[in-house]
Amino acid sequence: MLTTGTIIFGVFALVVIASALGMLLSRNAIYAALFLVLNFATVAVLYLILGAPFIALVQITVYAGSIMVLFLFVIMLLGAEKLPAGEPLGHHRWIALLFGLVFLAELALFLVYRAGMRAAVNTPPLEFGSPAAVGMSLFQKYALPFEITGFILVVATVGAILLTRGEGFKGRKRTLEIQSQDK
């Protein structure tokens, strides 16, 4: 039975897979990043279809938004789009292939043996995962973890600045300290 919902889902699911493949297969880092944006945005639509507007918006603002901007900055600053097109994996590709096949076999086995054991998932209430519900939970029950996360981020920021922007290190060389006998 083809409902409108299924058709919309099918179209977007195909776009998700196609953009993921496009990201993997494009040699140019910029194109790969743009495919990833498309992928993130389409996944957000899938979340919307599933009735999770909050996760959909987080997906767009965090992944398609800030993380992608970060990616593009890194590509731009490091000049990764000008890297010579070579095989980046080398001999690892055989290991990757092996793992891929194992994963495929696992999926196939799961489909064969567990296909009859599908259980209906209880549909959560309509307000489940709504922004208001998430906010209430985050700032009441999980207020303490929320605050701690803030301090963890402060520490990480301080560390990043400290380890990359140290003053007085210009002109000093990396040294391995001299030792009378090591190893």
Partner 1 sequence: MTLTDLMTILPLAVLVAWTTALLLVDLWIPKDRKGITALLAAFGLALTLGLSLARGQQPRQAFGGMVVVDGFAVFLDVIFLASGLASIALAHDYLKRMNIVRGEYYSLLLYAISGMMLMTYAYDLIIVFLALELLSIPLYILSGFVRLNLRSEEAALKYFLLGTFSSGLVLYGIALIFAATARTDLPGILAAVELAPANLTMFLVGGALLLVGFSFKGAIVPFHEWAPDVYQGAPSSVTAFMSVGAKAAGFAALMRVFVVAFPSLSTDLTPVLWGLAAVTMVFGNIVALAQTNLKRLLAYSSIAQSGYLMMAFVPYGQGIVLSDTIAAMLFFLVGYALTTLGAWAVVIAVEKAEGRGLELQDYAGLGRKYPLLGAAMTVFMLSFIGAPPTLGFWGKFYLFRTAVEGGFTSLALLGLVASIFSAYYYLRVVVMMFMRPGEPEARRDPWLVLTAGVSALAVVGFSLVPGSLLNLALQAVLKLL
- Using CA atoms, how far apart are residues 41 and 38, in angstroms rounded to an integer? 5
Does residue 169 interact with partner 1 by CB under 8 A?
A: yes
Does residue 14 interact with partner 1 by CB under 8 A?
A: no
Instruction: Name 49's Cβ contacts closer than 8 Å, sequence gap at least 6.
Output: 5, 8, 9, 12
Judged by beta carbon, residue 70 or residue 143, the one nearer partner 1 is 143
Does residue 151 interact with partner 1 by CB under 8 A?
A: yes
Instruction: Name 41's Cβ contacts closer than 8 Å, sequence gap at least 6.
Output: 60, 64
Choices 24-32, 56-64, 89-97, 170-178 (CB under 8 A): range interacting with partner 1: 170-178
Judged by beta carbon, residue 86 or residue 169, the one nearer partner 1 is 169
**Location of structure tokens 């979340």:** 47
Does residue 148 interact with partner 1 by CB under 8 A?
A: yes
171: region left, alpha or beta (phi > 0 left; psi from -120 to 50 alpha): left
Judged by beta carbon, residue 74 or residue 154, the one nearer partner 1 is 154
Judged by beta carbon, residue 94 or residue 139, the one nearer partner 1 is 139
Does residue 158 interact with partner 1 by CB under 8 A?
A: yes
